[in-house]
Amino acid sequence: MSFKALGLSEPLLKAIRKKGYETPSPIQAKAIPSVLEGKDVLASAQTGTGKTAGFTLPLLHLLSENPKQKFRPIRALILTPTRELAAQVFANVKEYSEFLNLRSAVIFGGVNQKPQIATIRKGVDVLVATPGRLLDLQNQGALSLKRVEIFVLDEADRMLDMGFLRDIERVMKLMPDKRQNLLFSATFSKDIKKLAYSILNNPVQVETARQNTAVEVIDQKVYRVAKGKKTGLIIKLISEGNWKQVLVFTRTKHGANKLCKKMISAGITAAAIHGNKSQGARTKALAGFKNGSVRVLVATDIAARGIDIPLLPHVINFELPNISEDYVHRIGRTGRAGAEGQALSLVSADETSYLKGIEKLIGESIEVEIVEGFEPDPNASTEPIKPGQNRNQNKGRRTNSRNSNSKGSGNSRNSNRNKSRNRNRNTDSKRN
C-alpha cells in the first residue's frame, strides 16, 4: 500500500516524499483512512511505529480541505504530556504542512510565554501544547478553544501517569461538543479505555501489535551485576564498545545527575535530562545528543518521552523501572521505523521482581549475561527497594536517637524529606 492509496492530498504526498517515506507503517495504514472519514479513533501501537504521522497527516488533510477562516482560530489541538514530545510533534506538523497554507504553533512551560502569545494572536490553525501552559494562557485570555474541530490526545497513557486527568477534563470543557477526537496511546490499559470512552464517540479502535510487546527488531539483553558495580560496568560497555549514541535511563533525577558526572569523569561526554532541568538545559542536552557532541544522554522516564532519534542504536536501563509497561516505552526509543537496535538492562538483586514482571508482560525471557569482574552479589537481598527508601535508614535512626533531645530530631527531618520527595514526584508534570 502507498500513501497515495490512503487518500492523502498531493501537497502532503510531496512533503512525505521529501522526508523519504515510501510506504505507510501498519498504524498509519489503519488509522489514516478512519481519520480522513471524520471518525473518532482510539489507536494503540508500540513506540517508534509512526503514531505521530498517523494523526498529523490526515489532520492536516482535513484542515486544508476546508476554507480557512479570516482570523485563523485554533482548529486543531494536539495535547501532549511533555515539552520534548510537544516540540517533536510540532516539528512533524511543520514538515508535513510545508506545501499547505496552514499555520501551526507549539506552547509549553519552562520558557517565556510572550513569544507564544504573539504567535497565537497572529492566527494558528494547529496548536500543539502541554496541559499546564495551555490552561495558563487560556485563563489569561490569550487563546480560545471554542473553534476546535479536531482534538488529539497524544501519549494518553503517560498523561494519566503524570496526573493530568483533571487538566484533560478542564480542556475538554473549553472545546465545542461537536468535534472529531483522536486518542493515541502506547498501551490500552483499563484506565485508558475508561478515559477514551468519556471522550470519544463510537470510536474506531486501531491496534497494530499485541499489547505491550517489545519491538521485534530490538536485541534485548540483561546484565546481572552487583548494585555497586553498575557504574563501572556501564562505563566499560560504552567505552570498549566505542558506542557513540546511548540513551540511559535512571529511576530518579538525582541518579541521573550522579551517573552523568561519573560518565564525564571517565572521559565520556554526557548530559542529563529531567524535570528539574531548565527548558534551555533540556533543549541543549537533546541537541548535543542528536548532533553527536554528547555521546550519552541520561534521562528519567518522563523527560525521555518524546525523544525521537532516528536510528538510535543503544538504550540502557541503568535501573529497571518498577512499572513494567515503562520498560516497553524505554526500549522503544531504539529499533524505530524498522531499524535494528539494542536494549541492555543492568539488573541487581533487588530488581529481580521487576525483571520477572517485565518478562511476563512481554511474554519472553530476556538473555542474561554476566561480565567477569562485575558479578552479582550472591548475598544481596532480592527484596525490591521502595521509591524513596534509604538502605541506611536504620543507621540514621540510631544516630538520630542519640540526638533525640535536640530541637527538630533527625527522624523529623528524614520524615520531612520523604514527604518532600512524595510531593515532588510529579515535578515534571507540573512544570509542563
| Interval 133-182: pLDDT, tens | 999 999 999 999 999 999 999 988 888 877 889 999 999 999 999 999 99
Same structural domain, 228 and 169: no
Is residue 355 over pLDDT 90? yes
Same structural domain, 127 and 9: yes
Range picked from 184-188, 206-210, 228-232, 357-361 for highest mean pLDDT: 228-232
Please list the residues that pair with 129 across neighbouring strands: 79, 107
Is residue 397 over pLDDT 60? no
What pLDDT is attached to residue 370? 96
Same structural domain, 203 and 224: no
Is residue 385 over pLDDT 80? no
Residue of 273, 235, 234, 250 lying closest to 85 (CA atoms)? 273
Same structural domain, 106 and 145: yes
Average pLDDT (72-79) is 95
More confident residue, 431 or 339: 339
Query: Edge-to-edge, what's the strand order for the sheet holding 41-44?
Result: 104-107, 126-129, 76-79, 150-153, 180-185, 41-44, 204-207
What pLDDT is attached to residue 356? 95
Q: How confident is the model at residue 419 (pLDDT cuts 50, 70, 90)?
A: very low
Average pLDDT (105-119) is 94
Q: How confident is the model at residue 322 (pLDDT cuts 50, 70, 90)?
A: confident
Same structural domain, 182 and 225: no
Residue of 263, 306, 266 lying closest to 286 (CA atoms)? 306
What pLDDT is attached to residue 295? 95
The helix (H) or strand (E) run that includes residue 270 is strand 270-273
Average pLDDT (298-314) is 75
In the listed set 318, 352, 369, which residue is the last one of a domain according to the structure? 369
**Dihedral sign, Cα of residue 36, residue 41, residue 46, residue 51:** positive
Is residue 5 over pLDDT 80? yes
Does residue 353 form part of some domain?
A: yes
CB distance 131 to 164 below 8 Å: yes
Does residue 376 form part of some domain?
A: no
Residues 387 and 127: their CA atoms lie apart, in Å, by 36
Q: Characterize 282-321 residue by residue with b for buried, 16 or more Cβ atoms within 10 angstroms of its Cβ, and e for exposed.
A: bbebbebbbeeebbbbbbbbbbbbbbbbeebbbbbbbbbb
In the listed set 161, 183, 207, which residue is the last one of a domain according to the structure? 207
Residues 211 and 361: their CA atoms lie apart, in Å, by 9
Does residue 329 form part of some domain?
A: yes
Same structural domain, 15 and 119: yes
CB distance 346 to 223 below 8 Å: yes
Asked which of 313-322, 340-349, 384-393 is least confident by mean pLDDT, the reply is 384-393
CB distance 10 to 175 below 8 Å: no
Residues 268 and 244: their CA atoms lie apart, in Å, by 10
Does residue 377 form part of some domain?
A: no
Q: How confident is the model at residue 412 (pLDDT cuts 50, 70, 90)?
A: very low
Same structural domain, 154 and 278: no
Mean pLDDT, the chain, whole residue set: 84
Does residue 413 form part of some domain?
A: no
**Coil/strand/helix, residue 205:** strand
Q: Phi then psi for 333, rounded to 5 degrees?
A: -70, -20
**Dihedral sign, Cα of residue 274, residue 276, residue 279, residue 285:** negative
Does residue 280 form part of some domain?
A: yes
* pLDDT tens digits, 168-227: 999 999 999 999 999 998 777 788 888 888 899 999 998 875 555 555 668 899 999 999
Same structural domain, 162 and 261: no
Residue 218: CB atoms within 10 A of its CB come to 20
Same structural domain, 12 and 83: yes
What pLDDT is attached to residue 187? 72
Instruction: Tell me the CATH number at 155.
Output: 3.40.50.300
Same structural domain, 126 and 163: yes
Q: How many domains does the chain have?
A: 2
Residues 87 and 306: their CA atoms lie apart, in Å, by 8
Residues 388 and 385: their CA atoms lie apart, in Å, by 8
Q: Phi then psi for 202, rounded to 5 degrees?
A: 45, 55
What pLDDT is attached to residue 390? 46
Phi/psi-derived region of residue 337, left when phi > 0, alpha when psi is between -120 and 50, beta in every other case:
left
Same structural domain, 189 and 143: yes
Average pLDDT (341-345) is 92
Does residue 309 form part of some domain?
A: yes
The contacts of residue 307 (CB under 8 Å, 6+ apart) are 84, 88, 247, 286, 297, 299, 333
SS3 percent helix, strand, coil of the chain, rounded to 5, is 45, 15, 40
Residue span of the structural domain in which 313 resides: 218-369
Residue of 218, 209, 267, 211 lying closest to 238 (CA atoms)? 267
CB distance 138 to 152 below 8 Å: no
In the listed set 178, 207, 236, which residue is the last one of a domain according to the structure? 207
Same structural domain, 122 and 173: yes
CB distance 291 to 283 below 8 Å: no
Is residue 19 over pLDDT 60? yes
Residues 76 and 55: their CA atoms lie apart, in Å, by 11
Q: Which three cell numbers stand for residue 266?
A: 571517565
Does residue 338 form part of some domain?
A: yes
